[in-house]
């Protein structure tokens, strides 16, 4: 018998002063049996950083043909494709061919550094690709916020992010390893 995904519900209040986006999003996240709470929360952070009414979670780990998050218009055109983790370079190239913009949110400490060092030269040629790195301490702290039912605030100003609930929160400044060139 196959293991089932665990459902997490989050009410995410976003105040993104950098983009002028202020909204509350009711989100349902399915955590694949092989997914860690750290990865789940990095996906949630990626949502907060790119929040839009049309941004949606893909089937991710359970379907290799969809991203972790994507922003599509009514015609099905993909405006933003977001991958969380350390995807294969060939997969990133494929995503760049399908979407206007692709964002990789790399995390995992030294593993992310090694991944970037191995792929930076090839990925630097992709104009529609942006790569952001979340440090290991932030990933671990985000995992500590994970609960099956969450009410979180996400405040973004001058590239700095605070995400949390009440007194418990995580502050971070995602590092851009590669910015979009479009």
What local confidence, expressed as pLDDT, does residue 24 receive? 98
DSSP 130-151: EEEEE-HHHHHHHHHH--SEEE
Burial of 121-133, coded b for 16+ CB within 10 Å and e otherwise, reads eebeebebbbbbb
**4 within domain boundaries:** no
The predicted-structure confidence for 65-100, as pLDDT tens digits, reads as follows 789 999 999 999 999 999 999 999 999 999 999 999
63 pLDDT above the threshold of 70: no
- Cα separation, 65 vs 15, in Å, equals 31
CB 40 within 8 A of CB 84: no
- Residue 60: pLDDT band (50, 70, 90) is low
> Which of 108, 106, 109 lies closest to 119, judged by CA?
106
Place of tokens 């060939």: 90
The predicted-structure confidence for 98-151, as pLDDT tens digits, reads as follows 999 999 999 999 999 999 999 999 999 999 999 999 999 999 999 999 999 999
**98 within domain boundaries:** yes
Domain membership of residue 129 as a residue range: 9-178
> Which of 100, 82, 117 lies closest to 91, judged by CA?
82
* Structure tokens given for 127: 């104009």
What local confidence, expressed as pLDDT, does residue 118 receive? 97
The CATH number given to whatever domain includes residue 57 is: 3.10.640.10
User: What pTM was computed for the model?
Assistant: 0.94
**38 within domain boundaries:** yes
Q: For the chain, how many structural domains are there in total? A: 1
152 pLDDT above the threshold of 80: yes
């Amino acid at each position: 018998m196959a293991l089932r995904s665990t459902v997490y519900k989050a009410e995410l209040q976003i105040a993104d002063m950098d983009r002028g986006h202020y909204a509350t999003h009711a989100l349902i996240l399915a955590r694949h049996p092989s997914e860690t709470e750290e990865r789940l929360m990095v996906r949630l952070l990626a949502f907060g950083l790119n929040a839009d009414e049309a941004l949606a979670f893909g089937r991710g780990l359970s379907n290799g043909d969809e991203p972790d998050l994507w922003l599509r218009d009514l015609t099905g055109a993909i405006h933003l494709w977001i991958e969380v983790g350390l995807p294969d370079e060939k997969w990133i190239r494929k995503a760049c061919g399908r979407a206007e913009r692709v964002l990789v949110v790399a995390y995992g400490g030294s593993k992310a550094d090694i991944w970037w060092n191995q792929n930076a030269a090839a990925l630097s040629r992709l104009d529609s690709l942006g790569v952001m790195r979340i440090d290991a301490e932030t990933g671990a702290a985000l995992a500590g916020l994970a609960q099956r039912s969450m009410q979180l605030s996400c405040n973004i100003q001058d590239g700095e992010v605070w995400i949390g609930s009440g007194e418990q929160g995580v502050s971070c400044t995602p590092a851009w390893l590669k910015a979009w060139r479009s």
